[in-house]
Structure 1
Amino acid sequence: MEVMLTVEGLEKAFKDKQVLKRISFDVRKGEIMAILGPNGAGKSTTIRNIMGIMYPDAGSITFHHHNGKDIPRNKIGYLPEERGLYKNVKVMDILLYLAELKDYPLDKAKERALMYLKKFDLEGKEKVSIEELSKGMGQKVQFISSIIHEPELLILDEPFSGLDPVSQELFKEEIRNLANNGTAILLSSHQMNLVEEMCDRLFMIQRGQKVIYGTLDEVKTEYANFKCTIHGKNQINDLERIPQVLRVEHEDDRSILYLDKDVEPTSWLKNLPESIQIQELKINRISLHEIFIDIATDKNLIQEEGEVLA
């Protein structure tokens, strides 16, 4: 798969604080790549360097065989976390203005704007000013502005924030459509369930350093131990004595058993003591949300540190 964006050995410091420490990853044509990390990890600094809002102290960013100030920014779409459309400007005017800044033909921009306004249930809002729109409507307009010029690379920073479930589904559908049509997408979000549902690969950063990088399947195989959820009246002490159980979360009649990394689920289930009461049982790997919490809070529940490369 063609690589559209390459970030190599990126470093950035503010005064005496090193914010990025040799960050490296790539984004490929037609994929949705997640960039994850807790607040202050370095995600926004990485994105701002890609966008040319600031420049790294060391390392390189390459897009379409261009790097640094030569990167063709008109081929990149950007939805920032902080929304910032001019409030007293009409919807169509702001969309055409932003398309013109990207050197995109205005006749095509108007056609695409009307198509997307209809698609996002904003038909008839062309002459309404931004300040008259609800927060969700404004977010839809900002999203349209980031894709109206048919970018080859699209950077989305918390695109689902503040959206109702229906609007989230609209955004998810369009993001998938864009990827299917070849757009390379770099997506930053704290909503791990959506990341797990949508993204092909992920890059996780903590304290300015890469901690995870790979496909979701690779990351889960490497980092996500199995867990077993049991519904039944059991004593936590009995559950903790079961072989290959690292720890137990117990509340009322529901217990979650976190298992060793090398557990083979079928064999492990066969060895459960007959004294364990089971009304319902489910075994699966821990979620991306749990992996994120583990890394972000330094709980060290993941047994082995390492790096997944794809």
Structure 2
Amino acid sequence: MSLARATRSELTKQFTTSMWWILALVMFLYVGVTAGGLGGTLGAVANGTLGPDAVNGPALPVDAVPPVVYSIATSVGYVFPLLIGTLMVTNEFRHQTLTPTFLATPRRGVALGGKVGAGIVMGLLYAAVGIVAAVGIGAAALAALGLDTLLDRSETWAMIGRMVIALVLWTLIGVGAGTLIRNQVAAVVSVLAFTQFIEPILRTISAFIEGLSDVAKYLSGAASDALVGASIYTSLGGTDASGGGLDWWVGGLLLLGYAVVFLLLGWLFSWRRDVS
């Protein structure tokens, strides 16, 4: 079977289940509500609706508000493509459908390549969902408060393009994690524990411990923020909005490196093993 056919086969598997659209719907609601709420709050602070007495800390510059609101799609929503990428592989281990997959595609490299190809497509789909939610609802909230949405600027659309790349790479990281960790519960718990608890804690305390910030900026979430160029965590935390000082292309290469490493480790230590 060719790589193109393997990719089509993997996409057929995805779209014949309900998990993909359930996660996409939850992503749209979660990202949309967060972007709308954040846009309303930051916009009210920026235009003076919320006065200094109601604000705890300095307000963001007006031109910095839209990028932070739009980047909610990646800074918050990345967990959804990460999960769908993980489930793409672990579902096969859990439901023991990997055996017929390998019988249909005996060359395991092609089979894994098919999952990578399908992961790219799913990443693009989830990127569209997240960006429509964040930019659409966030821009509407900003416009309602009389703020410039900055959607007429090339810099904004360049950032949105980088958001697409980031969300696709998060999907591939999920595919790699699911390939490496065969047990579905263990894989899902591992990616959620690291991305939602361990890494945020490390990035938070790095601001208070000398030298730790030099390490924290190379974590996956920081690399994603650097690639996008804006993030609620870095902007409101008083640090560099680009994710710790890394150039956007360095953050992109670093995030790509995480995906490649997970895929290679999964190939070496799990994918080539016998399937029970």
TM-score range, shorter chain: under 0.3
Structure with the higher helix share, 1 or 2: 2
User: Over alpha carbons, which structure has the higher Rg?
Assistant: 1
Q: Which structure exhibits the higher relative contact order, with contacts defined as CA atoms closer than 8 Å and separated by 6 or more residues?
A: 2
Structure with the higher strand share, 1 or 2: 1
